[in-house]
């Protein structure tokens, strides 16, 4: 009996340590090494380095720092700023055009960066003051910016999808393909909500003044080419080369990093200082993610060494839980966990525990499960009190924006994500059709 309780005691110690505010990477690694050393002796210290070496020698994971580099270079070179300005004026005559432009730019930045912090800060700094100046409500403005900034976590190339592919041991390329239709569906539903909101409240997002649009028309073609066309071509090259099988995710990431640098040179925004800033920020973000990955590997090694996965499977068999109910319970746990911990912790703590059950006991398609989890994790960025998107947005908004404005603003978009999740549950082909066609 005590043997069966040890995995749960181990899990509880980690969960309590995280809730106490200790760093994720060192909590996972430290507690795991402590339990492993006590329970398995010195044999554990012979196994752990082999697991860590397996991470460091994983060719696919090399894509993560290069995608991060690409995103930070986009932010630093001012491409994101000009892209938002151009899109806002292109949609300027429409009521809700400003909000739709923020969503489109969020989707494009998501497809080029996959970094929530960079996208939220960029969109918040550039669009919130403009929205408030145009008479948009603080609540609506904050909601659309928070939702747009988190799109990069479902639209490939996404850091979530890369980490999920590594954890579930499935093809990252297939995950990227599987996320395309759900990601586009989410963008369209967001835009649909903006249209409905402007029908309910006609002045929710007013149109731009005609004189500003006329001024934009003079340099329209040049702005569209430099601000919209060139970044879009780069994104298509990166994703297209992966989807067509021309390049692996790692090779495509290298193309993206080089392409973003070339765009910065074309815009005359490239310098030694820019390269130093981008390289340093890339190193910091990558180091953080890989330290957590090493800690999560230690956690997985100890948990499976304690036969925690077998104990959970036996409990499920004894309870006679069907696959649909188990999936519902897991999705609910991930959604609720998103209120308290971030997506990396969820991927490396919860997913390794449930993945063997989905695969070995229920024989469910892990690609479909991975896309469902990725869509669910979208909510973790926007659910209070610890949603990262909320923190980033509050940090860059004007003083008149209150935390309650941000919390209320994200509610419709969280609801839309849950609707998408239900559609993907009832229609698995939304996630599985494109990978099947491309194969």
Q: How confident is the prediction along the chain (439 residues), in pLDDT tens digits per residue?
A: 556 677 778 778 877 877 676 776 777 778 888 888 887 777 777 777 777 776 677 666 777 788 778 777 877 777 766 776 677 667 666 677 778 888 887 787 776 655 666 677 667 777 777 777 777 788 888 888 888 888 878 888 777 888 888 888 888 888 988 998 999 999 999 999 988 888 888 777 776 666 666 665 666 666 666 666 777 777 777 777 776 777 777 788 888 888 888 888 887 888 888 889 888 888 887 777 677 777 777 777 777 777 766 666 667 667 777 888 889 988 988 888 787 666 777 887 788 888 888 888 788 899 999 999 999 988 888 887 667 777 777 776 777 888 788 888 899 999 999 999 999 999 999 999 988 887 6
The pLDDT assigned to 363 comes to 86
- End-to-end, the C-alpha distance of the chain in Å comes to 48
The pLDDT assigned to 190 comes to 93
In terms of Cβ atoms closer than 10 Å to its own Cβ (0-12, 13-18, 19+), residue 422 is exposed
The answer to whether the CB of 370 falls within 8 A of the CB of 355 is no
Distance CA 215, CA 420 (A): 39
Cis-peptide, bond into residue 204, ω within 30° of zero: no
Using alpha carbons, select from 17, 19, 32 the residue that is nearest to residue 337.
Answer: 19
Distance CA 71, CA 417 (A): 24
The pLDDT assigned to 159 comes to 77
The pLDDT assigned to 284 comes to 81
Q: How many domains does the chain have?
A: 1
Q: Which domain, by its residues, includes 146?
A: 2-438
The pLDDT assigned to 88 comes to 66
The pLDDT assigned to 24 comes to 66
């Amino acid at each position: 009996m005590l043997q069966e309780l040890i995995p749960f005691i181990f899990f509880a110690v980690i969960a309590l340590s995280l809730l106490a505010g200790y760093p994720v990477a060192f909590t996972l690694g430290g507690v795991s090494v402590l339990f492993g050393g006590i329970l398995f002796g010195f044999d554990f210290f012979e196994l752990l380095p082999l697991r860590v070496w397996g991470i460091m020698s994983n060719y696919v994971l090399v894509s993560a720092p290069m995608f991060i580099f690409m995103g930070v270079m986009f932010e630093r070179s001012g491409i994101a700023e000009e892209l938002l300005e151009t899109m806002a004026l292109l949609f300027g005559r429409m009521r809700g055009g400003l909000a739709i432009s923020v969503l489109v730019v969020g989707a494009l930045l998501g497809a080029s960066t996959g970094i929530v912090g960079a996208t939220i800060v960029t969109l918040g700094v550039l669009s919130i003051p403009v929205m408030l100046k145009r008479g948009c409500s603080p609540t609506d403005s904050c909601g659309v910016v928070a939702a747009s900034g988190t799109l990069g976590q479902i639209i490939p190339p996404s850091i979530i999808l890369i980490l999920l592919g590594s954890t579930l041991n499935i093809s990252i390329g297939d995950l990227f393909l599987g996320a395309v239709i759900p990601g586009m569906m989410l963008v369209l539903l967001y835009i649909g909500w903006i249209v409905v909101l402007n029908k309910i409240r006609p002045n929710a997002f007013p149109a731009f003044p005609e004189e500003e649009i006329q001024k934009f028309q003079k340099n329209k073609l040049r702005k569209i080419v430099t601000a919209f066309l060139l970044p879009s071509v780069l994104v298509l090259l990166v994703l297209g080369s992966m989807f067509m099988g021309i390049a692996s995710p790692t090779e495509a990431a290298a193309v993206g990093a080089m392409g973003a640098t070339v765009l910065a040179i074309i815009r005359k925004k490239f310098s030694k200082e820019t390269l130093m800033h981008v390289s340093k920020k890339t190193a910091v973000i990558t180091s953080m993610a890989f330290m957590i990955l090493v800690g999560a590997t230690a956690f997985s090694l100890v948990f499976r060494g304690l036969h925690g996965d077998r104990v959970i499977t036996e409990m499920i068999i004894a309870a006679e839980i069907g696959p649909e109910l188990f999936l519902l319970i897991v999705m609910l746990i991930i959604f609720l966990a998103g209120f308290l911990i971030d997506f990396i912790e969820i991927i490396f703590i919860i997913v390794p525990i449930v993945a063997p059950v989905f695969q070995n006991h229920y024989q469910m398609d892990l690609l479909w499960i991975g896309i469902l989890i990725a869509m669910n994790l979208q909510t973790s960025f926007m659910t209070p009190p610890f949603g990262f998107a909320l923190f980033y947005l509050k940090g860059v908004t004007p003083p008149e924006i209150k935390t309650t404005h941000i919390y209320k603003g994200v509610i419709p978009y969280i609801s839309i994500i849950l609707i998408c999740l239900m559609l993907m549950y009832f229609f698995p082909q939304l996630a599985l059709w494109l990978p099947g066609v491309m194969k």
